[in-house]
A and B are shown apart, each in its own frame.
Chain A
């Protein structure tokens, strides 16, 4: 079975205390596990909710500054809790439900999207020992659960019974499936070198000076670039945001959603952006490794830098057409990533930079 890693670094003491408390009041073993898992999940969930709120605010500020305006300024210092207020507003709004919707599908789509976005964090190493469960299929698990996002988008498109939503959902599914191939293959180059799928193993193999995969091996930078491009597409962001192109599709798959359900889609989108950045940080940029500072600071710093990069790209470049998007994936990215994988295999076989 998957064994939970309860030794959670700096939070270790807190969880140890909770565990001892549960033992002392004499709960049976299964219930202890359930409560421990619930506590862990709640911690990760709370952290991610905070991150998502912060990212929304950050994106608005970056967009504003690129466009030479200030963005939110009123609520708190430089509007720092603007998104909290926005979220509260969304929670209170009327949940508008189209009469012609497909009831069950319409209801479950945002839920699945939300759950899929969060469940990737089961094996995300936030820092040394800061991981919920170090699965031995780590990165494969993340890739697998994030595929549910596609299904939720298709469900949202179908359930809304609206042509724009349906088109948006289908475009998004086609795009995510296409870009998943180069994304996974560029990660494979590194996995091949490490010889393990576990996120912790991948990070630990990059400890030491300039041992990050982006610097250490010749195929690293190529894989990093192809991964980043594919990741932007996976997160459905400009220049690959045709699923929700405002001018063509109004807002794509989520056009009929409002209030709480819209907020779930919206948060999930930002969580997905954080996920792909965190994978990039872990696999290519050395994860929590780094001198002097605590490990989680390094991890957050690297991940937020990646997020910053994605945001800059979003507010700088125009959107691609559907056919350009598909051609780019299949005729350029896929061959390049496969060539890169072969290069990695040859280098591994010859024994360089092990």
Chain B
């Protein structure tokens, strides 16, 4: 199995993710930021494909690119302050945040790489990952799966309560 050897595709995706992620938080035009976010999320889906998690990749594209990102674009378009040309995305806390994030970004991979203590995965990778995800959702992980629907119901009702225009 050579899939874990990072090939050229991985590096291309990694560069795309990092550059577009950086652009999301630096560009002055919010619409461009949203588009970069879409690119970033799409490239992450590419990483999932490399890891042979096709279902996750498709779900990532369908949910993040197809729904979440489009909602963000809508919000940008419908909010006049956001749609105006220039927007400054940083404030006086920027330096501290940068230092913390940089430490985190360097530190965590370093720690992970230098800690050899991980539970080894059992057996082969499952080839039919759509089927096995479905199986686990319906058997072992049924309770969280059902709970998520309660959670979504609460969020749905809450969104309506907050967004609805009141008749006085």
Contacts and interface: CB of A to CB of B under 8 A. Distances in A.
Range, interface on chain A: 20 to 34
Chain B at the A interface: mostly helix, strand, loop or mixed? helix
B148 to A, nearest CB: 17
A1 B49 CA distance: 8
Interface of A: 1-2, 102, 104-105, 135-137, 140-141, 143-145, 147-148, 150-151, 154-155, 158, 166, 170, 173-174, 177, 180, 196-197
Contacts of A158: 31, 77
Given A136-B128, A144-B66, A158-B31, A1 B61 contact: no
Interface in B58-93: 58-59, 61-62, 65-67, 69-70, 73-74, 77
B58 A155 contact: no
A150 B65 CA distance: 10
Contact of A166 (B35, B58, B69, B77): B77
Contact of B31 (A105, A143, A145, A196): A105
B40 to A, nearest CB: 13
Nearest to A177: B70
B70 A136 contact: no
Given A141-B58, A170-B77, A177-B67, A136 B31 contact: no
B3 A151 contact: no
A1 B51 CA distance: 8
Interface residues of B, number: 26
B101 to A, nearest CB: 27
Contact of B52 (A1, A140, A144, A173): A1
Nearest to B55: A137
B73 A154 contact: yes
B61 A151 contact: no
Contact of B130 (A136, A147, A151, A174): A136
A141 B66 CA distance: 12
Interface string B93-106: 00000000000000
Nearest to B52: A1
Contact of A155 (B35, B65, B67, B128): B35
Nearest to B134: A195
A147 B66 contact: yes
Contact of B54 (A102, A136, A170): A136
Contacts of A102: 29, 31
A158 B85 CA distance: 12
A151 B70 contact: yes
12 contacts: A2-B49, A105-B32, A136-B128, A136-B129, A140-B62, A141-B54, A141-B58, A144-B62, A147-B70, A150-B66, A154-B77, A173-B73
B62 A143 contact: yes
A147 B62 contact: yes
A168 B107 CA distance: 47
Given A105-B31, A147-B61, A197-B130, A154 B70 contact: yes
Contacts of B32: 104-105
Nearest to B31: A158
A137 B58 contact: yes
B17 interface: no
Nearest to A198: B130
Contacts of A197: 130
In this complex, which of A135, A141, A154, A180 has the most chain B Cβ atoms within 10 angstroms of its Cβ? Answer: A154
B38 interface: yes
B72 to A, nearest CB: 11
A337 to B, nearest CB: 17
Nearest to B71: A177
